[in-house]
């Protein structure tokens, strides 16, 4: 700064000037503040005085008197700076408050008066001197932040003064906007010594955006949009006007404006689909809700500095996953499609199509509790997201992309096909971007910000070495990651300056540049331009179909989970066909072929096929849908898919089904190696039968038999050991996630493999469940908690598991507890009356539970009622038709009557007709095809096998072991 001694850091001068500017003695109580940044900024106002002077001087130097309102300008700037300084100092201020209260130094009749006294004392020179003296690192941070923000604002004003005439002509329609009345920094993260995207506001209310880095990427993307506008009829996509200058630029301010009428929604989303195609072809990322503006029927991108983003290696993965790699290279990588960010405090769709107001911020916010008293402390709490300007609206109604899938897909096809038709010209257009500066995003900005925030703890601010060690945790986290390891020193240097680290590159190079301009040669495996050209070269009908599925699935994921009800019936009258086993088998093969075709394959070095995995639309924690690479679970992971394929291979003799099944489960040993040292993860996964380790043990044991592979049996034994470790953790008693499912799975593994470890764990689970049934009077729920409906989570599944275990001739108390739990589970007839039919939470599950009790009259009476209704559109195992069919199959075996057989055969014919005449509707929003077992194609296929070959194909919903021939059973018994 002016007059500073160049031999020492500039922040020292800033701190000294602030101390000199502070009042010599405490003034009266400060004005009451509703928010902690306003209260804590009061003692830091002396840091603003020098900033105001420098900013006013720069305005006088670069602007005519009629071009700026000085007071309004400086107030707008210092209001933002004050809150930033308050955030830096907040933890130290709270520590000082605690010490003053403990020492009895505060004056006042109550906590609020004592807090005001503390702020008044801290605002005087002795208080400020004591603060920066006790926390020298805080002095450095405050001085640096103030210095950098002020220098950046002065630079902005100098550039604006030089460019004002051009700005008026290029961005404001040639109409003079009057004087500048506000400069508001902080529209983005601070980089390169506190520079941020800022808004400049004029007296007539109009605004322009200042970008302290080159806006050439935005300008070049405008050329891509112009290219598409010439080739896609009636799309007329809009991009903001850009005034580029060397190293910085000015951008048109785009207002969030409503649609004129609801009919324009289709136009908006069709244009957004075209944009998505362009972003996919240019390998853009990070197009989140704050980078796009819905301006009437135009989706306008205002920040595309991450075009041509190189594909960076993943940080920490269990093993190379071809599905994860495919998803990372897909349209999902753009950030425009809906995708949940999950954090400690909540989940938020932060995508370009998301940004829902009222959803919970994943990282929470910092707040004071209680506010403005001498016992105030800082806490991080959940907080609602205020929303963004990216979504179209009509009146007060905010529109949702999930309701406009057809328009998004139509636009995507238009843009995609235009690029494919003129691939050479589009590639030439990409080549012209090779020297544009782009940003490289190695880690989430939110992670950097959280590290900066946590590094302001008072225990770190007293010694620069302690503070530096806190920032250097980034280096430790990067030790085993080659790219992160190389970047860490530069990232830490940026953090020391109070900046969010900035890394840049150019599409035509593999080099990366630090914020200082230092070059890291050949750091990338492949340039961003090479990646984009490769993407364009690979665009064809197959790729377009893959991307369209991801688009549809991502939009469907915005739908609510829906409470496990099967939904509406198929349109029109139910059709019945002859469901003889061969036809059912052929239909199952058709589904298997779809699954195999959707599989992503990792190629080994010798060219042979390696691991296979799938991208699925999956339920997470029973609350949200997400598009994810499939994990290992039985219910929605690759293990369930593999089990279907292996069962089909056993029935048909088609070797490729067995081969894909075996390759799908290849990563299991690596997974075991990770989980063996992570009891916390074992507890999180749990021992359950569908989503937990119990189900994994079951699936591997059955695969061992079906594929004739003893190694898989060994893996299953490991899963049993891990299940035993997870079982004691607090868990639900239910089938899906808890001990009932674990009991059934372990009983099956015992029978499948002769596993003594599984037998022991089964008995331990049974004992715990009996205790629960007796203690809760069969409700299987604690006092005050509701009895959960259905088989998957409630007492029905507990009762069936205990009834099956009791068949082994064990203690009769297991059978008694089973009857008690089933009785409390509810009546199937009541569920039918409520139109809740499914296995998971409806009548089918309740009926299944009663089949485990010998002689229960309910089974015979309810069976025809469950089948005498229209076929559901949802054909899935979980809450659709094939889960209901499982109850019909098991009930038929229980009652052994012609009527039951006729009911089952007729229903099989209706289901087969539905599979053949309609797209197989999965248990997903809109019936989107997904590979998994409970909600997807694998489960529908497995259900068809059950309908045709019940004596050879055991129930996967009931975790039954492989049926054995008499000789095999005798050999198993005598081992």
Share of the chain above pLDDT 70, in %: 96
Pairwise CA distance, residues 106 & 121, whole Å: 9
Q: Tell me, what's the pLDDT at 969?
A: 39
- For range 906-912, the mean pLDDT: 94
Count other C-beta atoms under 10 Å from residue 746's C-beta.
Answer: 35
CA angle (477, 481, 484) in 5-degree steps: 70
Mean pLDDT of 320-336: 95
Dihedral, CA of residue 332, residue 338, residue 342 and residue 343, to nearest 10:
110
Looking at the fold, whether 463 and 398 belong to one and the same domain comes out as: no
The residue-averaged pLDDT of 102-114 equals 94
The length of the chain, given as a count of residues: 975
pLDDT in tens, 266-311: 999 999 999 999 999 999 999 999 999 999 999 999 999 999 999 8
Q: Give 787 or 349, the one with higher predicted confidence.
A: 349
**Residue 71: other Cβ atoms inside 10 A:** 11
Same domain, 286 and 377: yes
In a domain, 66, yes or no: yes
134 inside domain: yes
Helix 655-664 crosses helix 638-652 at what angle (to 10 degrees)?
160
- The C-alpha atoms of residue 621 and residue 630 are separated, in whole angstroms, by 15
Cα dihedral sign, 221-225-230-236: negative
Residues 236-264 pLDDT 10s: 999 999 999 999 999 999 999 999 999 99
Residue 562 has pLDDT above 80, yes or no: no
pLDDT band at 576 (very low <50, low <70, confident <90, very high): confident
Read off the tokens for 541. 């009908």
Residue 319 pLDDT: 66
Whether residue 366 is found in the same domain as residue 473: no
Q: Both 269 and 398 in a single domain?
A: yes
Q: How confident is the model at residue 865 (pLDDT cuts 50, 70, 90)?
A: confident
Average pLDDT over residues 121-148: 96
Q: What is the pLDDT of residue 819?
A: 94
- Residue pLDDT, tens place only, 373-382: 999 999 999 9
H/E stretch holding 356 reads none
Dist. CA 801–CA 622, nearest whole Å = 22
Say yes or no to pLDDT of 643 above 90.
yes
State residue 728's pLDDT score. Answer: 80
Rounded-to-integer distance, Cα 639 and Cα 936, Å: 13
Task: Name the pairing type of β-strands 393-394 and 397-398.
Answer: antiparallel
Rounded to an integer, the average pLDDT of 601-611 is 76
Q: What is the pLDDT of residue 312?
A: 87
Name which residue leads in pLDDT, 179 or 869: 179
- pLDDT of 878 over the 60 cut: yes
Strand partners, 63: none
User: Which range marks the domain in which residue 380 is found?
Assistant: 213-314+329-439
Q: Which of 398-412, 482-496, 665-679, 842-856 has the lowest mean pLDDT?
A: 842-856
pLDDT at 967: 44
**Per the domain annotation, does 765 fall within a domain?**
no
Tell me, yes or no, whether 130 and 149 share the same domain. Answer: yes
One domain for residues 35 and 140: yes
In the predicted structure, residue 951 carries a pLDDT above the cut 80: yes
Helix H or strand E segment including 360: none
CB of 370 closer than 8 Å to CB of 349: no
What letter would DSSP give residue 314? P
Looking at the fold, whether 284 and 407 belong to one and the same domain comes out as yes
915 by Cβ neighbours in 10 Å (0-12 / 13-18 / 19+) ranks as buried
What is the structure's pLDDT at 972?
A: 43
Q: Is residue 466 part of a domain?
A: yes
Q: Is residue 370 domain-shared with residue 425, that is, in the same domain?
A: yes
Question: If you search the block for the tokens 């004005």, which residue do you land on?
Answer: 31
> Is 436 strand, coil or helix?
coil
Residues 101-118 as b or e (16 or more Cβ within 10 Å = b): beeeebeeeebbebbbbb
Let me know whether 128 and 250 are in one domain: no
Partners of residue 257 on adjacent β-strands: 295
Domain count, the chain: 3
Q: Is residue 110 part of a domain?
A: yes
**Mean pLDDT value across residues 830-834:** 83
CA neighbor of 947 nearest in space, from 586, 593, 570, 706: 586
- Confidence category of residue 786, pLDDT binned at 50, 70, 90: confident
**pLDDT at position 971 over 50:** no
- If you average pLDDT over residues 816-826, what whole number do you get? 92
Q: Minimal CA–CA distance to 614: which of 556, 675, 550, 552?
A: 550
Domain end call among 439, 456, 474: 439
In a domain, 343, yes or no: yes
Share of the chain above pLDDT 90, in %: 81
How far apart CA 798 and CA 778 sit, in angstroms, is 9
Judge if 139 and 27 occupy the same domain: yes
DSSP 910-950: HHHHHHHHS----SSGGG-----SSSSHHHHHHHHHHHH-T
Looking at the DSSP bridge assignments, the partners of residue 293 are: 300
| pLDDT value at 1 more than 80 | no
Q: What pLDDT digit, counting tens, does each position of 36-88 carry?
A: 999 999 999 999 999 999 999 999 999 999 999 999 999 999 999 999 999 99
Q: What are phi and psi of 287, to 5 degrees?
A: -90, 75
Q: Which helix (H) or strand (E) holds 56?
A: helix 46-62
Residue 184 lies in a domain: no
Shared-domain flag, residues 421 and 470: no
pLDDT at residue 317 tops 60: no
DSSP code of residue 815: H
Phi, psi values for residue 441, rounded to 5°: -100, 100
Position 864 pLDDT exceeds 90: no
Phi, psi of 635 (to 5 degrees): -70, -45
Give CA–CA dist 936/939, Å, rounded.
6
Q: Which two tokens stand for residue 75?
A: 């107030």
Judge whether 90 and 138 are in contact, CB under 8 Å: no
For residues 413-422, average pLDDT: 98
Burial class (CB in 10 A: 0-12, 13-18, 19+), 92: buried
Cα 681 to Cα 638, 677, 687, 703, 942, distances in angstroms: 19, 9, 11, 24, 30
| Cα distance between residue 195 and residue 183, in whole Å | 13
Structure tokens at 309: 């983003």
Instruction: Count other C-beta atoms under 10 Å from residue 596's C-beta.
Output: 19
pLDDT confidence tier of residue 970, bands split at 50, 70 and 90: very low
For residue range 137-166, list pLDDT tens digits in order.
999 999 999 999 999 999 999 999 999 999
How many other C-beta atoms are found inside a 10 Å radius of the C-beta of residue 435?
12
Q: What is the pLDDT of residue 26?
A: 80
CA neighbor of 273 nearest in space, from 423, 411, 80: 411
Q: What Rg value do the Cα atoms of the chain yield, rounded?
A: 32
What confidence score (pLDDT) does residue 781 get?
Answer: 87
Please check whether residue 572 lies inside any domain of the structure.
Answer: no
Average pLDDT over residues 419-429: 98
pLDDT at 974 over 50: no
Burial 21-54 (b: 16+ CB within 10 A, else e): bbeeebeeebeebeebbbbbbbbbbbbbebbbeb
Q: Does 282 lie in the same domain as 337?
A: yes
- Work out the angle between the directed axes of helices 581-598 and 937-948 (0-180°, nearest 10): 160
Task: Render pLDDT for 9-20 as a digit per residue (tens, 0 to 9).
Answer: 899 999 999 999
Q: What is the pLDDT of residue 832?
A: 84
Domain end call among 439, 464, 487: 439
Q: Where is pLDDT greater, at 593 or 727?
A: 593
Q: What is the mean pLDDT of the chain?
A: 93
């Amino acid at each position: 700064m002016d007059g500073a001694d160049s031999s020492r850091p500039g922040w020292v001068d800033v701190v000294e000037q602030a101390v000199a500017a502070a009042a010599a003695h405490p003034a009266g109580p400060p004005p009451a503040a509703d928010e902690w940044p306003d209260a804590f900024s009061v003692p830091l106002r002396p840091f603003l005085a020098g900033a105001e002077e420098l900013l006013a001087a720069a305005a006088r130097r670069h602007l005519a008197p009629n071009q700026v309102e000085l007071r309004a300008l400086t107030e707008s700037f210092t209001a933002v700076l004050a809150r930033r300084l308050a955030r830096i100092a907040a933890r130290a201020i709270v520590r000082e408050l605690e010490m003053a209260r403990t020492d009895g130094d505060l004056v006042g009749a109550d906590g609020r008066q004592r807090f005001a006294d503390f702020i008044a004392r801290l605002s005087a020179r002795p208080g400020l001197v004591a603060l920066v003296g006790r926390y020298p690192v805080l002095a450095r941070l405050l001085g640096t932040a103030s210095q950098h923000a002020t220098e950046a604002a002065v630079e902005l004003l100098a550039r604006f003064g030089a460019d004002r005439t051009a700005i008026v002509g290029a961005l404001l329609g040639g109409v003079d906007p009057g004087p500048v009345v506000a400069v508001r920094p902080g529209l983005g993260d601070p980089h390169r010594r506190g520079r941020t995207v800022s808004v400049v506001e004029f007296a007539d209310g109009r605004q322009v955006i200042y970008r302290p880095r080159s806006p050439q990427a935005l300008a070049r993307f405008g050329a891509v949009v112009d290219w598409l506008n010439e080739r896609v009829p009636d799309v007329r996509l809009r991009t903001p006007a850009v005034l580029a200058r060397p190293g910085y630029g000015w951008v048109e301010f785009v207002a969030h404006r409503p649609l004129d009428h609801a009919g324009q929604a289709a136009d908006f989303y069709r244009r957004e689909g075209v944009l998505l195609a362009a972003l996919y072809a240019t390998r853009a990322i990070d197009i989140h809700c704050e980078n796009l503006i819905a301006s009437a029927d135009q989706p306008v991108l205002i920040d595309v500095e991450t075009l041509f983003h190189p594909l960076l290696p993943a940080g920490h993965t269990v093993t190379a996953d071809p599905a994860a790699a495919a998803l990372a290279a897909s349209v999902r990588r753009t950030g425009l499609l809906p995708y949940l960010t999950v954090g400690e405090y909540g989940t938020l769709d932060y995508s370009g199509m998301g940004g829902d107001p009222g959803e919970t911020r994943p990282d929470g916010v910092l707040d004071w509790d209680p506010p403005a008293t001498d016992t105030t402390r800082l806490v991080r709490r959940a907080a609602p997201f205020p929303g963004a300007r990216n979504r179209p609206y009509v009146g007060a109604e905010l529109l949702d992309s999930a309701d406009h899938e057809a328009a998004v897909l139509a636009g995507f096809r238009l843009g995609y096909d235009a690029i494919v038709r003129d691939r050479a010209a589009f590639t030439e257009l990409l080549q012209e971007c090779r020297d544009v500066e782009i940003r490289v995003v190695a880690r989430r900005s939110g992670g950097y910000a959280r590290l900066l925030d946590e590094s302001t703890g008072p225990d770190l601010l007293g010694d620069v070495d302690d503070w530096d060690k806190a920032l250097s945790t980034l280096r430790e986290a990067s030790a085993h990651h080659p790219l992160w390891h190389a970047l860490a020193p530069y990232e830490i240097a940026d953090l020391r300056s109070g900046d969010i680290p900035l890394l840049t590159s150019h599409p035509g190079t593999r080099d990366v540049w630090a914020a200082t301009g230092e070059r890291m040669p050949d750091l990338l495996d492949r340039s961003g331009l090479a990646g984009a050209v490769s993407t364009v070269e690979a665009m064809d009908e197959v790729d377009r179909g893959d991307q369209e599925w991801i688009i549809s699935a991502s939009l469907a994921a915005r739908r609510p989970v829906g409470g496990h009800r099967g939904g509406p019936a198929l349109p029109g009258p139910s059709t019945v066909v002859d469901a003889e086993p061969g036809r059912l088998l052929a239909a199952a093969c058709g589904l298997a072929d779809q699954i195999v075709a959707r599989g992503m394959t990792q190629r080994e070095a010798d060219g042979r096929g390696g691991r296979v995995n799938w991208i699925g639309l999956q339920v997470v924690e029973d609350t949200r849908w997400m598009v994810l690479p499939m994990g290992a679970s039985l219910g929605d992971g690759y293990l369930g898919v593999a089990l279907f394929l292996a069962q089909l291979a056993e029935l048909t003799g088609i070797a490729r089904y067995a081969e894909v099944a075996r390759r799908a489960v290849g990563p299991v040993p690596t997974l075991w190696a990770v989980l063996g040292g992570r009891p916390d993860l074992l507890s999180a996964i749990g021992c359950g039968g569908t989503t937990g380790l119990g189900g994994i043990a079951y699936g591997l044991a059955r695969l061992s038999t079906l594929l004739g592979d003893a190694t898989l049996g060994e893996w299953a034994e490991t899963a049993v050991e891990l299940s035993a470790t997870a079982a004691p953790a607090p868990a639900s008693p239910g089938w899906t996630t808890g001990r009932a499912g674990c009991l059934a799975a372990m009983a099956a593994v015992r029978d499948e493999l002769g596993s003594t470890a599984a037998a022991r764990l089964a008995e331990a689970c049974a004992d715990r469940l009996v205790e629960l049934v007796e203690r809760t009077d069969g409700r299987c729920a604690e006092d005050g908690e509701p009895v959960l409906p259905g088989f998957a989570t409630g007492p029905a599944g507990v009762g069936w598991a205990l009834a099956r275990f009791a068949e082994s001739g064990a203690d009769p108390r297991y059978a008694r507890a089973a009857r008690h739990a089933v009785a409390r589970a509810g009546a199937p007839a009541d569920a039918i009356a409520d139109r809740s039919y499914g296995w998971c939470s409806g009548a089918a599950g309740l009926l299944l539970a009663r089949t485990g009790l010998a002689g229960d009259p309910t089974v015979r009476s309810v069976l025809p009622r469950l089948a005498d209704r229209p076929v559901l559109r949802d054909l899935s195992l979980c809450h659709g038709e094939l889960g209901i069919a499982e109850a019909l199959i098991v009930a038929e075996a229980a009652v052994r009557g012609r009527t039951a057989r006729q009911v089952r055969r007729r229903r099989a014919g209706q289901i087969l007709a539905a599979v053949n005449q309609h797209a197989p509707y999965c248990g997903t929003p809109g019936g989107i095809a997904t590979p998994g077992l409970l909600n997807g194609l694998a489960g529908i296929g497995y259900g068809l096998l059950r309908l045709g070959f019940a004596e050879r194909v055991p129930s996967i919903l009931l975790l039954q072991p492989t049926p054995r021939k008499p000789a095999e059973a005798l050999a198993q018994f005598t081992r």
